[in-house]
Amino acid sequence: MDYQQVINNIYHEVKSLPVVGEVADYIPALANVDPDQFGIAIATIDGQTFGIGDYQCKFSIQSISKAFTLSMVIRHIGSQLWEYVGKEPSGTPFNSLVQLERENGIPRNPFINAGALVVTDKLMNLYTHPKEAILEFVREMAGTDDIYYDKTVAQSELKCANRNQALGYFMKSFNNIDNDVDALLDVYCHQCSISMTCEELAKSFLFLANHGINPHSQKEILSVSRSKRLNALMLTCGFYDESGEFAFRVGMPGKSGVGGGIIALIPGQLAIAVWSPRLNKYGNSYLGIETLERFTTDIGISIF
């Protein structure tokens, strides 16, 4: 299939849609981004890469980083993790704290903020230098060393972290956080601040499209079974309260971030990254979802 042609077509169709949605404004560093940037990149497991638009611009991956840290932790402790965080969709945003309270500080899944904090907390138990370890893992997956934390974004997030601090202290009151909450937030805000391009992002998720094997190095990152499970989690929980809708419309496992990026993949074939900073009310990129829906429709491929 001529993926370059496919994304060229979609790019131009989607770019001409009426402009809707707002850039995330909860931290100044994100609010200042040019809202009309738009890029698409595809990486296939047989080593090809395709791209259009701003697919080589760096942007803040934000919550997409949760899939990296989850992979790192599952790789080391496997199913032990599920004593501390669940695997079920969370229902509504409203539920996050309700459910934490009802369920004794165990978050519903690793992709809501509370769950991602638990994952990062476990990662801090595994690595003496967790921030360095995360960056190293992402660079290895993407096949490039040109990936960094955006310190301005990280500091900006740390200053606006009251809600995440509340989650951290709340779970700590249930003994579900091991590390100091301030240290945890420092790592967490850094992982969210990683800057990557669509192209780098697409490449870095190929191991999940390739049954756990990094296709660059042929190294096993996750077992087949764990890779399958991580994809299942992305499908059921990767888009906050829009996860059902995304599965319904798009039908690929994926993960979004409030920076406007979305990564999605077709097991056995490819990973696709889209970036456009304008968000819908669920905090997911408008054009990103639009692009991916058209992509699966045009090529007639979904996991369903």
- Give yes or no: 240 in active site: yes
Q: What is the three-class DSSP state of 273?
A: strand
Q: Which of 250, 258, 276, 285 is catalytic?
A: 258
Return d(Cα 264, Cα 198) in angstroms, integer: 11
- Residue 135: CB minimum distance to a copy of itself, A: 27
C-alpha closest to that of 200 among 17, 60, 24: 60
Task: Using alpha carbons only, give the angle 241, 93, 91 rounded to the nearest 5 degrees.
Answer: 55
Q: Which of 15, 58, 216, 228 binds a copy of itself (CB under 8 A)?
A: 228
- Residue 46: CB minimum distance to a copy of itself, A: 19
- Give yes or no: 26 in active site: no
Q: What is the three-class DSSP state of 218?
A: coil
- Residue 258: CB minimum distance to a copy of itself, A: 16
- Give yes or no: 66 in active site: yes
- Contact segment (CB under 8 A) with a copy of itself among 31-39, 142-150, 186-194, 230-238 equals 230-238
- Residue 159: CB minimum distance to a copy of itself, A: 12
Let me know: does 41 contact 270? Beta carbons within 8 Å.
Answer: no
Is 56 or 91 the residue whose CB approaches a copy of itself more closely? Answer: 91
Query: Does 167 help bind a copy of itself (rule: CB under 8 A)?
Result: yes
- Show contacts with a copy of itself in window 13-42 (CB under 8 A): none
Is 102 or 281 the residue whose CB approaches a copy of itself more closely? Answer: 102
What Cα–Cα distance (Å) separates residue 227 from each residue in 72, 222, 277, 290? 12, 6, 29, 26
Backbone angles phi and psi of 273, in degrees to 5: -120, 135
Query: Does 249 help bind a copy of itself (rule: CB under 8 A)?
Result: yes
Which residue type is seen at 201?
Answer: L
Is 9 or 302 the residue whose CB approaches a copy of itself more closely? Answer: 302
Q: Which of 3, 11, 55, 240 is catalytic?
A: 240
Which residue type is seen at 225?
Answer: S
Q: What is the three-class DSSP state of 174?
A: coil
Number of H-type helices and E-type strands within the chain: 14, 10
- Contact segment (CB under 8 A) with a copy of itself among 2-10, 12-20, 215-223, 225-233 equals 225-233
Query: Does 299 help bind a copy of itself (rule: CB under 8 A)?
Result: no
Query: Does 236 help bind a copy of itself (rule: CB under 8 A)?
Result: yes
Handedness of CA 276, 258, 263, 187 (dihedral sign): positive
Query: Does 223 help bind a copy of itself (rule: CB under 8 A)?
Result: no
Six-digit token pair at 173?
């009151």
Site string for a copy of itself, 62-91 (x = CB under 8 A): ------------------------xxxxxx
Six-digit token pair at 293?
């829906």
Q: How many CA atoms lie within 13 A of 106 on its CB side?
A: 11
- Residue 289: CB minimum distance to a copy of itself, A: 14
- Show contacts with a copy of itself in window 197-216 (CB under 8 A): none
List CB contacts of 245: < 8 A, sequence separation 6 or more: 239
Burial of 212 (0-12, 13-18, 19+ CB in 10 A): buried
Q: Which of 3, 66, 181, 243 is catalytic?
A: 66
Query: Does 179 help bind a copy of itself (rule: CB under 8 A)?
Result: no
Six-digit token pair at 5?
């042609």
What positions carry a catalytic annotation?
A: 63, 66, 188, 240, 258
Binding site for a copy of itself (CB under 8 A): 86-92, 94-102, 108-109, 162-163, 165-170, 172-173, 181, 224-225, 227-229, 231-233, 235-237, 241-245, 247-249, 251, 253, 267, 297, 300, 302-304
